Structure 1
């Protein structure tokens, strides 16, 4: 009897070939993803993408210019010379990680074998990435000025151009709240979208379609419900972060509300898109888990963007997570005005609109079918 039950359950489980394929595919994808992120796969076969280093040369001497040229000649760095004000603005807006300032007296310090007037201005939210760039520059300094007698003479002073204040949260808190909030929201809307499949199996959807209700109306109704739940869920998570950890959610209420609405629209459209691509609950569970984990890892929910290899940073923009997290950083950490955040909101709305249009076609083909 036990063997019969075992055979029956295995037959049921393996009947859905697509669902089984997704079940086995998930760990393979995760292993590949984290191997590239942490294991250095492929780094010996191809050179890493050079890091961009902003340079401010206040000394403007032959020695400083020659050294900056040697930095630019390194395969691991791409040097961009700017005025101090422009460089700081780019860091504050999240476009670059750090700028190296060669202060006045650099040439004299080299000649006199004294402490070098060098400062790194960086974004504290991306300190790890700034430290990695600094390590490369420090190594170049030691190699180029090997006659310096003490290591502390090539020490570099680091100054964050965006500092934590009484009305500004720690960047780690912003990363934890924003990354987790968007990722869990994706799982929630995927579960809500599964209600369409339940209605199809129970016959409720068929009865709705025999009424004057159009398929697009059903899709938009489900999407609207998912969006309402998304807004409530995001609001609840940020209120909790405010009460439990002191996240200053009222510093720019208008930007926060608009960003929550844009994220909710994009995420709810993602939910109906997912359910429109499958035909069974098992397929939805496998597909949604794989896609959400991939989007979350690539988009910065699981791994901060600054810690990712170059090619993963290049593709991060395909993820809803990325634009949502960066938008929250713009509000809470960078404290940018609304006009600076609007482009990210428009991208989220564009993603949502695109997935809604695709979902309308797939919904009719995969869901509104009773053959």
Structure 2
């Protein structure tokens, strides 16, 4: 990769790190709320793996709003056209915005998993790398979908509505709130449509140390992230942010 490209990505990433540091409210709330709920759900379900992975999936989907906000802010601030007027190309802008948000998503999930181990009683079996793979794949999928949302929504209100609905739908249909076996037959039949199903299945397999059970859902989520990222690239490349774009 050319040095100029790396420099532009680094500058954009550093700027977005600064923006994240100035507004950490979402990260804090999406850490504290699942921590409290983990203690409540543990007494109800009694299965640490289900409780920790389920709430992790639900609140990481809510965090997808932060991913989309990184791009949507350029519209509300009327700065997207200025970025496009610089030498930075669309892929460089996207990567520069994506790297800090990916780090925030990964931090959220690592902290919640560590909390689950120390407080809730989660006990991963086997090596750590399947769990690391699961976190990376889920973060990548959220990053791709969140970036794609930034090219579709037109306001922060639309984004919040979509993410709230998605968080509940993805979690409920994915078996994040209750075990998959306890879901009604119709919900089990459509569960594989939900990314939450693959994320929950993957994370629970990683906790068990099941490598094969981790890799397949991870591949599905990476494919989802690539498809969503390709759509976002196309959307941004068409001049997203201009009033004429539908």
TM-score between the two structures when normalised by the length of structure 1: 0.50
Aligned equivalents of 1:276, 1:296: Cα separation in 2: 24
Q: 1:208 to 1:345 in 2, by over 3 A?
A: same
Shift of 1:265: 0.5
Map 1:40-189 → 2, pairs under 5 A = 172-189=47-64
Q: 1:175 to 1:226 in 2, by over 3 A?
A: same
3-state SS of the aligned residue for 1:302?
Answer: coil
Aligned equivalents of 1:301, 1:314: Cα separation in 2: 15
Deviation per residue, 1:137-167 (Å, 9 max, x gap): xxxxxxxxxxxxxxxxxxxxxxxxxxxxxxx
Q: 1:306 to 1:244 in 2, by over 3 A?
A: same
Q: 1:276 to 1:263 in 2, by over 3 A?
A: same
Which one scores higher on RCO, CA 8 angstroms, separation ≥ 6?
A: 2
Deviation per residue, 1:238-279 (Å, 9 max, x gap): 111111123224742011111111111111112112222111
Match of 1:347 among 214, 217, 220: 220
Are the counterparts in 2 of residues 224 and 268 from structure 1 also a CA contact under 8 Å? no
3-state SS of the aligned residue for 2:153?
Answer: coil
Ranges in structure 1 where 5+ consecutive residues have no aligned partner = 1-169
- Structure 2 residue 160 is matched with structure 1 residue 268: no
Aligned equivalents of 1:330, 1:360: Cα separation in 2: 32
Aligned equivalents of 2:181, 2:125: Cα separation in 1: 27
Map 1:1-371 → 2, pairs under 5 A = 172-249=47-124, 251-333=126-208, 335-336=209-210, 338-365=211-238, 367-371=240-244
3-state SS of the aligned residue for 1:368?
Answer: coil
Are the counterparts in 1 of residues 142 and 225 from structure 2 also a CA contact under 8 Å? yes
Aligned equivalents of 2:46, 2:222: Cα separation in 1: 26
Task: Point out the structure with max Rg over C-alpha.
Answer: 1
Aligned residues: 200
Are the counterparts in 2 of residues 262 and 345 from structure 1 also a CA contact under 8 Å? yes
Q: 1:199 to 1:368 in 2, by over 3 A?
A: closer
Are the counterparts in 1 of residues 137 and 222 from structure 2 also a CA contact under 8 Å? yes
Q: 1:366 to 1:313 in 2, by over 3 A?
A: farther
Ranges in structure 2 where 5+ consecutive residues have no aligned partner = 1-44
Shift of 1:188: 1.2
- Give the alignment's Cα RMSD to 1 decimal: 2.1
TM-score between the two structures when normalised by the length of structure 2: 0.73
The structure in which a higher percent of residues are helix is 2
Aligned equivalents of 2:88, 2:62: Cα separation in 1: 28
Q: 1:281 to 1:367 in 2, by over 3 A?
A: farther
Are the counterparts in 2 of residues 197 and 275 from structure 1 also a CA contact under 8 Å? yes
Q: 1:366 to 1:293 in 2, by over 3 A?
A: farther
Shift of 1:366: 7.4
Q: 1:250 to 1:310 in 2, by over 3 A?
A: closer
Aligned equivalents of 1:363, 1:312: Cα separation in 2: 35
